[in-house]
Amino acid sequence: MSTPNRGDARKERILEVALKTFADNGFRGASIAEIADRCGLSQPGLLHHFPSKAALLAGVLEYRDRLDAERLGTDEQPRGPLALHQLVRAVEHNTQVPGLVRLFTVVTAEAVAADHPAHDWAVARYRHLEAWITRALDAGIADGTIRPGIDAVAVARQIMAMMDGLQLQWLLDPENIDMATLFRTHIEELLARIAVAAAD
């Protein structure tokens, strides 16, 4: 990670506060005034960095994706079954951050409207994750841990759909829906079908 200069540090502080505010109240429920107040800034001071609530949302989503990418690591991508186990751990981690999961779920659904400020972000995010999973499956085919002949792109899309759909049910009814276990068993059953040898 590069060392931020003073302007970057202030921007990062704003993004941290905005992230928490959006996660607590959703995009619609959050106000620029509240975020500026929590940052110790005037509204014009905040709007100097981000000209609108939509721009601030876009900034938060990009910032959050960057943090996730740093956590996942970018140099060595896990291959084959290991990558799918990493997704299981990501879902387990998500059960600890319901506000953040809620932010992503609500904003992504709102973003199906082509004129939503997060539309392009959402489309790009799916393409990025799809490519990550597809590369992992292709690498698994290459190293003999995943059966050849599977449709890796289709499997990637189905895995992402399962993650999103379980998140939605869990957010609606967290007492009853064990998102982490439901996702883990789905991945285990998927691997029973597409993996050449058990990976764990």
| Contact set with a second copy (CB under 8 A) | 26, 28-29, 102, 105-106, 108-113, 119, 122-123, 126, 151, 154, 157-158, 160-166, 168-169, 171-173, 177, 181-182, 185-186, 189, 193
Per DSSP, the three-state class of 146 is strand
Looking at the Cβ atoms of 14 and 104, the one nearer to a second copy is 104
CA–CA separation, 116 and 110 (whole Å): 7
Looking at the Cβ atoms of 32 and 160, the one nearer to a second copy is 160
CB of 13 to a second copy, least distance (A): 27
Q: Which amino acid is at 81?
A: P
Q: Contact 78/86 with Cβ under 8 angstroms?
A: yes
Looking at the Cβ atoms of 109 and 198, the one nearer to a second copy is 109
Cβ-defined contacts of 154-159 (< 8 Å, 24+): 155/190, 155/194, 156/129, 156/130, 157/130, 159/84, 159/87, 159/133, 159/187, 159/190
Looking at the Cβ atoms of 48 and 127, the one nearer to a second copy is 127
CB of 89 to a second copy, least distance (A): 18
CB of 39 to a second copy, least distance (A): 24
Question: Where does residue 6 rank: exposed (0-12), middle (13-18), buried (19+ CB within 10 A)?
Answer: exposed
